[in-house]
Amino acid sequence: MTTTNTAETATTFPLGPFQVHRVGFGAMQLPGPGVMGPPQDRDTALAVLRRAVELGADHIDTAQYYGPDVSNELIRAALHPYGDDLALVSKVGALRNKKGSWLPAQKPAELRAAVQDNLQSLGVEQLAAVNLRITDDIPGYVRPALEDQLAEMVAMREEGLIAGVGISNATLDQVRTAIELADIVCVQNAYSLADQSDADVLALCAAQGVAYVPFFPLGSAFPGMPKVVDRPAVQAVADRLGRTPAQVGLAWLLADFDNILLIPGTSSLAHLEENMAVAEIELSNADIAELEA
């Protein structure tokens, strides 16, 4: 980990051909409960997207299977035609059925079909990046060879359908393979102050100039799992700075490595304002030491 504070770190980082602000927006929370169905308040969902861009978010993370078919439709309704500096990033490798179950869709042909679906629903000819989300944890499912999956992703990049290849939910060895075979531009893995088990992948990405986009940046969303906002040190630093514990947890990520890009998601305008203000928070070396103690 670094010991620099936010004021000394970069405010942007490359994401493929884009130079994006380090606080973007994740669209996963825009659909209804359980990431299924339409939003509870469509007008608010559209307003959140527009306000995020107004506040400087030029990196929006989405997926066709959010909803399914909901988050992309909202993004297009709110923001199309898109600004030239807006990086739309999606992910492939899964589907949702009518019951909301997550199903693997990892075959090269399925990856291609998913990219085409994203392009059509978002109304673009090219995506800034697409993450191949690895599914090695589904009982009885045998994932195709990673080399074959990456070859299909590279082929779509060469065809101009995507500008950059990414990988998600990947091990250190899988990330190494993806860097070697696909020259990936980003990695999306779980990482937070409460769960730093992916630190070796983060360090590799930093050394290779690859953007690292943590999901679960405030700890696992599952009940009973450790949450960053529950840590006494986080609460103490937040009180001292006049910020929320969530803001402090996100600010720590920005101070940790310059290649970390945040995509906090929300369906609330108030929470959006708080999330986007994270880039302004300066953590001192003493703050960071207290948080990491």
Identify the band that residue 8 occupies on the pLDDT scale cut at 50, 70 and 90: low
**pLDDT tens for residues 15-44?**
999 999 999 999 999 999 999 999 999 999
3-state helix, strand, coil in the chain (%, to 5): 40, 20, 40
Question: What's the confidence (pLDDT) of residue 4?
Answer: 37
Identify the band that residue 174 occupies on the pLDDT scale cut at 50, 70 and 90: very high
Task: For strands 129-133 and 87-92, give the pairing.
Answer: parallel
Higher pLDDT pick, 224 / 177: 177
Question: What's the confidence (pLDDT) of residue 9?
Answer: 61
Active site residues: 66
Average pLDDT (80-102) is 94
Average pLDDT (82-90) is 97
Question: What's the confidence (pLDDT) of residue 5?
Answer: 40
Average pLDDT (69-80) is 98
Fold classification of 6-292 (topology level): TIM Barrel (3.20.20)
Q: Where are the domains of the chain?
A: 6-292
- pLDDT for 158 beyond 60: yes
Identify the band that residue 257 occupies on the pLDDT scale cut at 50, 70 and 90: very high
Report percent pLDDT > 70 for the chain: 97
Is pTM beyond 0.75? Reply is: yes
Which stretch of DSSP H or E encloses residue 211? strand 211-212
Identify which of 80, 135, 82 has the alpha carbon closest to the alpha carbon of residue 105. Answer: 135
Any idea which residue has 């609460």 for tokens? 235
Mean per-residue pLDDT of the chain: 94
Average pLDDT (153-180) is 98
